[in-house]
């Protein structure tokens, strides 16, 4: 795919993985719009584009949980560039704590950003991607937590599982429009994501988790510095888009985990005969999914 001149909107694009994606896309000749929250991060990102002689990005200050603001951002990007070809839903928070102690505020904040932000991006931008014509792409950045759960990441994991399910389903819907959809599941990347717990908004202050111990959190966050370079992650995402890959893994170190997932899942299936009527239902489901990926619009009557 020749991405030169295509317009990409990237949430959380001034830092971390989002900035890695922005640089990779710019290196491929794309025009960039960046949603950001922090002014210092915006300034650093703008400086990189200037130092490399690139077209300045359109910077849009945005809280991804604000639906009205997201809609305005979509209009602003379209007004500035004339079209939108690529949507990257990347913004997220990495907040951890024991799920059995979580409050409504914990759920509302983490799910609101990590899943709700993706929803808001899709509702705001999909009409514009469709209008721009064939060759567009949606990238939803999830996490390896979309496959791997853990004792301190219940709500975070739920949000990433949700993004995975939504993205896998959306891929079927957008094939007829010539728009690709990719689920990205990174693992450890050199970002400050581990410090998200220090950025809790006041309206979500009523946490069920223990009060943040900043020294302990910074010690935990230091492990991220051993992660993959965000630019390399961005380059892998671009390569996946070029291949129209539905699933993009950026890290290779999980073969043992996926082997365990497969073996555990297969072992959990009951060993018993299946009525032909049920087998036929599943054959129709598989055929409908295959037809959808080949460009058919699937309705309930096809299932």
Token pair listed for 268:
């959990």
Distance, in Å, from the CA atom of 299 to the CA atom of 8, rounded to the nearest integer, reads 31
Q: Is 74 exposed, middle or buried (0-12, 13-18, 19+ CB in 10 A)?
A: buried
Spatial neighbors of 209 by CB under 8 A, at least 6 apart, are 97, 98, 101, 102, 103, 106
Residue 137 · residue 116 · CB < 8 Å:
no
Distance, in Å, from the CA atom of 18 to the CA atom of 59, rounded to the nearest integer, reads 13
* Residue 62, phi then psi, degrees to nearest 5: -155, 130
| Residue 177 among the catalytic residues | no
CA atoms within a 13 Å half-sphere pointing along the CA-CB vector of 73: 29
Kindly give the interhelix angle for 276-293 and 154-174, rounded to the nearest 10 degrees: 70
The residues facing 68 across adjacent strands are: none
Given the residues 36, 104, 147, 156, the one annotated as active site? 156
Spatial neighbors of 186 by CB under 8 A, at least 6 apart, are 17, 141, 143, 144, 228, 233, 250, 251
In residues, how long is the chain?
303
Residue 7: name the closest of 79, 63, 64 by CA. Answer: 79
Residue 17 · residue 192 · CB < 8 Å:
no
Give catalytic residues, as residue numbers.
156
């Amino acid at each position: 795919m020749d991405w030169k001149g295509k317009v990409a909107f990237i949430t959380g694009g001034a830092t971390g993985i989002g900035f890695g994606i922005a640089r990779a896309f710019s290196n491929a000749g794309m025009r960039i719009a960046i949603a950001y929250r922090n002014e210092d991060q915006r300034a650093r990102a703008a400086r990189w584009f200037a130092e490399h002689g690139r077209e300045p990005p359109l910077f849009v200050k945005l809280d991804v949980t604000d639906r009205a603001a997201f809609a305005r951002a979509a209009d602003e990007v379209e007004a500035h560039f004339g079209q939108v070809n690529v949507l990257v839903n990347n913004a997220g928070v990495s907040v951890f704590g024991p799920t059995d102690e979580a409050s409504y505020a914990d759920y509302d904040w983490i799910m609101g950003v990590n899943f709700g932000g993706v929803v808001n991006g899709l509702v705001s931008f999909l009409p514009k991607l469709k209008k721009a014509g064939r060759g567009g792409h949606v990238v939803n950045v999830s996490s390896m937590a979309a496959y791997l759960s853990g004792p301190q990441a219940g709500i975070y994991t739920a949000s990433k599982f949700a993004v995975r399910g939504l993205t896998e389903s959306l891929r079927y819907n957008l094939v007829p429009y010539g728009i690709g959809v990719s689920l990205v599941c990174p693992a450890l990347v050199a970002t400050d994501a581990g410090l998200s717990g220090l950025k809790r908004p006041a309206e979500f202050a009523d946490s069920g988790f223990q009060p943040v111990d900043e020294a302990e959190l910074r010690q935990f966050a230091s492990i991220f510095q051993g992660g993959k370079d965000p630019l390399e992650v961005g380059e892998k995402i671009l390569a996946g888009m070029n291949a129209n890959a539905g699933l993009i893994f950026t890290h290779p170190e999980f073969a043992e985990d996926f082997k365990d997932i497969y073996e555990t899942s297969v072992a959990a299936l009951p060993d018993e005969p299946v009525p032909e009527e049920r087998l036929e239902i599943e054959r129709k489901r598989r055929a409908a999914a295959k037809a959808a990926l080949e460009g058919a619009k699937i309705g309930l009557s096809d299932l």
